[in-house]
Amino acid sequence: MKTVNVGILGLGTVGAGTAETLLKQGPLMEARTGIPLVLKKAADLDLGRDFGFEIPKEILTTDAQEVINDPDIQIVVELIGGTGIAKKLVLDALAAKKSVVTANKALLAEHGTELMAAAEANGVDLFFEAAVAGGIPIIKALREGLVANPITRICGIMNGTCNYILTRMEREGIDFEVVLKEAQELGYAEAEPSLDVDGWDTAHKAVILSQIAFGVPLNLEDVPVDGIRGIDPEDVKNAKELGYRIKLLAMLDQSEKGYSVGVQPVLIPMDHMLSNVHMSFNAVLVDGEVVDETLYYGRGAGRLPTASAVVADIVDAARDLSGDAHARIPLSWNANPAPAWIPPEERLERSYLRLFLKNAPGSLAKVAEKLGSYGISITSLVQHENDEEGGFVPVVIVTHVATVGAIQSALADLAEMPHLVEPRMVRYRLEELNS
């Protein structure tokens, strides 16, 4: 079969890992696919850095356009990141009728519709497996393995930094800030951690999965996003006592009423498989109407796990080129009819609440009455022995399903009753994850 030439833009951690994998695993991939893949050029502004392996000098350049405009290169791999220059280079490559592979989640989440349209207009492929959950082939699973399935739920642990921090907080009973600092010193967490710990990295991935699962353009701004910064070891301990573990989850749900997407810390049962995804590992649970529940587990980041996904996309693009095709495996980016969007306040959720109540006769009854007035029923309640007469004592309440709007209104009312409840109130979603 004819050789397919590849050019890489960006030789950072993932770019260098991709170059290394292409060179080292080239013979294996050729044996498996019959297609010789050649890394023809690789561009990076800093060619003096240590790439972690011997990269042939003659393929290196500092000029991205030299890669894009090389007439022999059919596949351009964008591994620069960000939504600035990366977007321009991806559009340039698509306009030059090159298939593009990228791992850029922010770019796909913010400009996916425009980029997909550019790929379609130029009759080339745009692949992005590595943008979601690193080495886990979740996009391939959704597009191919589960093609027969209306998707009813996706529930993913898709940020290794957050999962690492939450695992250590639970195991060692220590504060978020302490683990974050150590994780930064060890190089597990970024010096500027907000993209990870405030939930935005997970949200980018959730938007991409939502597009694929539900086929509707979704704006990142419409997704409620809450990170792990505010999680108190006390809540981690309380969750454990109740038989749950706190995980940062992307939750995508679809029913006959419509679909919803959110990123938030959620209490899930300790014995559920997702609960047992520890440290920096990722996992994605997908519920399909035909297949029922499926679960995908692996490394969501890192030089070679991410390269594994990038190279799989390169092979897919090369297979299309060898068959003189594009979009051989279609991606429904615009479903018709589109499902309705369920606004965050109309979603039905169970809640874990931690309130500080005045230690006085009738306090609990008043809180229960307030929740009841919004149709919120209590399923369990924990108050440890406390003889601090007249002070404020912690009470943990778990509720039945209620709309998020009802819970928010009840808590807003309670916040107006400082003689009864302290203003600091904690609420997390609680999910049994039953299919």
Provide the binding-site residues for ligand HSE, judged by CB under 6 A.
159-161, 196, 201, 300-301
Amino acid in the structure at residue 195:
L
Distances (CA, A) of 182 to 79, 217, 233: 28, 38, 16
Q: CB of 3: closest distance to ligand HSE in angstroms?
A: 32
Let me know: does 341 contact 350? Beta carbons within 8 Å: no
Pick the catalytic residue from 41, 140, 205, 247: 205
State the nearest-atom distance from the C-beta of 196 to ligand HSE, in Å.
5
53 is written with which tokens?
Answer: 């392996």
Calpha distance 308→410 (Å, rounded)? 48
Under 8 Å between Cβ of 425 and 405:
no
Cα gap 312→144, rounded to integer Å: 14
> What one-character DSSP code corresponds to residue 143?
I
Residue 39 vs 250, nearer CB to ligand HSE = 250
Q: Which is nearer to ligand HSE, 92 or 201 (CB)?
A: 201
Of 303 and 326, CB closest to ligand HSE: 303
Strands 126-127 and 99-102, by their bridges, are parallel
Residue tagged 């939450």 (tokens): 166
Closer by beta carbon to ligand HSE, 5 or else 159:
159
Helix (H/G/I), strand (E/B), else coil: 168: helix
Residue type, 245: R
Which residues are paired to 430 by β-bridges?
A: 267, 350
Task: Tell me the closest approach of the beta carbon of residue 306 to ligand HSE, in angstroms.
Answer: 8
196 versus 235: smaller Cβ distance to ligand HSE: 196
Concerning whether 105 is annotated as a catalytic residue, the answer is: no
Quickly tell me which residue has 């050729």 as its tokens.
Answer: 30
Give min distance, CB of 160 to ligand HSE, in A.
3
Q: How many other CB atoms are found less than 10 A from the CB of residue 74?
A: 22
Please state the closest distance from residue 352 (CB atom) to ligand HSE, in A: 25
**Minimum distance from CB of 4 to ligand HSE (Å)?**
27
In terms of CB distance, is 132 or 393 closer to ligand HSE?
Answer: 132
Q: Check whether the bond before 337 is cis (ω within 30° of 0).
A: yes
- For the stretch 107-111, contacts whose Cβ atoms lie closer than 8 Å and that sit 24 or more positions apart, written own/partner, are 107/78, 107/82, 107/83, 108/204, 108/207, 108/208, 109/203, 109/204, 109/205, 109/207, 109/208, 109/220, 110/83, 110/204, 110/220, 111/83, 111/87
Catalytic residue set: 205
